[in-house]
Amino acid sequence: MTKRKLGRSGLEVSAQGLGCMGMSMAYGPPADRQDMIALIRQAVEWGVTLFDTAEIYGPHVNEELLGEALAPFKGEVAIATKFGIRMEGGQQVQDSRPEQIRRSVEGSLKRLRVDTIDLYYQHRVDPDVPIEDVAGAVKHLIQEGKVKYFGMSEAGVKTIRRAHAVQPLTAVQSEYSLWWRRPEDELLPTLEELGIGFVPFSPLGKGYLTGKIDENTQFESSDFRNIVPRFSAEARKANRSFVDLLTGIAVAKDATPAQIALAWLLARKPWIVPIPGTTKLGRLEENLGATWVELRPDDLARIDAAAANLPVHGARYPEALEKRTGL
């Protein structure tokens, strides 16, 4: 597995990380714990060194899973986790008050079985807490040795600049794929200017760009895609052109649509590290294979030209969830 540096921070990780949320929540019933431990450890054996989780995933269960799975590899991998969302009365509540951040970091350290968190993201921008206070709280944690690097998730560029002025950011995490390209407008140029790495989540469009999902696919009742407008049966059918585009390139490259989607992301910038998630060993192997797929300039131009003429049908989140993002 080749390595990449996240911006100018010096944090070097594998060209692909592993998003672990779906092992515990969001995409149906939680996967078997021992199977996921085996998958995470196999990912390490195959060269993955960046693993992504959050205190709210499970909640807490996902961090505990990573803590157990990665215990034998201390010092060999980087674990990214997130603060800023907690459960209250069965509902998720944004809370990035400095005192809450300190409570969160202590809990995450314990669950992850580490002395220092490698990359600590604010999960979502808290409209009730000045970002300078948040960045200042993380700066203190870095000075104390509890955190190595600071990150933000789904933040807008003005907020990123304000945070970066207090405590330099190592990475920003946001959704980015061939069918969600909003980060290209302002976010990517800002990150390049400031020397901040980019970690795209849902780089395969929550599974859609693999080509394994169509308008007839039935999701588990607990799968959150059931409430995502872009995953209505009508939208899935209308968006099929994206999969057809990837499939056409994949045939010529002896690859899969998923590998082309990931290779396209990797070719955008050398400081982009996507974190596709999976609960299947075969899918993990397939995703990692994208690192060796070479897309030439003419391939990229073909993809961009074709995609520019493909309208995306359906919003990426229900309205209430979209309001929580800073993009």
Does the pLDDT at position 131 exceed 60?
yes
Does the pLDDT at position 294 exceed 70?
yes
The mean pLDDT value of the chain amounts to 96
Give CA–CA dist 274/131, Å, rounded: 25
- pTM of the shown model: 0.96
* 176 given a catalytic annotation: no
**Calculated CA dihedral for residues 324, 153, 269, 179, nearest 10 degrees:** -30
Domains detected in the chain: 3-322 (3.20.20.100)
Does the pLDDT at position 49 exceed 80?
yes
pLDDT score of 323: 62
pLDDT digits (tens, 9 = 90+) for 169-217: 999 999 999 999 999 999 999 999 999 999 999 999 999 999 999 999 9
pLDDT score of 327: 52
Does the pLDDT at position 242 exceed 60?
yes
Reported as a pLDDT band with limits 50, 70 and 90, residue 319 is confident
Does the pLDDT at position 311 exceed 90?
yes
Does the pLDDT at position 325 exceed 80?
no
pLDDT score of 46: 98
- Give per-residue burial for 234-243: e unless 16+ CB within 10 Å, then b: ebbebbbbbb
pLDDT score of 326: 60
pLDDT digits (tens, 9 = 90+) for 132-142: 999 999 999 99
Structure token pair of residue 150 = 């600071």
pLDDT digits (tens, 9 = 90+) for 70-94: 999 999 999 999 999 999 998 999 9
pLDDT score of 240: 96
Does the pLDDT at position 272 exceed 70?
yes
Strand partners, 5: 12
The one catalytic residue in 57, 149, 176, 208 is 57
Short-list 89, 91, 78, CA closest to 121: 78
Instruction: Give the rounded percent of residues in the chain with a pLDDT score beyond 70.
Output: 98
pLDDT score of 321: 72
90 residue type, one letter = G
Give CA–CA dist 160/179, Å, rounded: 24
Give CA–CA dist 52/121, Å, rounded: 10
Give CA–CA dist 43/281, Å, rounded: 9
pLDDT score of 324: 59
pLDDT score of 320: 74
If you write DSSP's letter for every residue of 58-82 in order, what string do you get?
A: TTTHHHHHHHHHHGGGTTTSEEEEE
Reported as a pLDDT band with limits 50, 70 and 90, residue 102 is very high
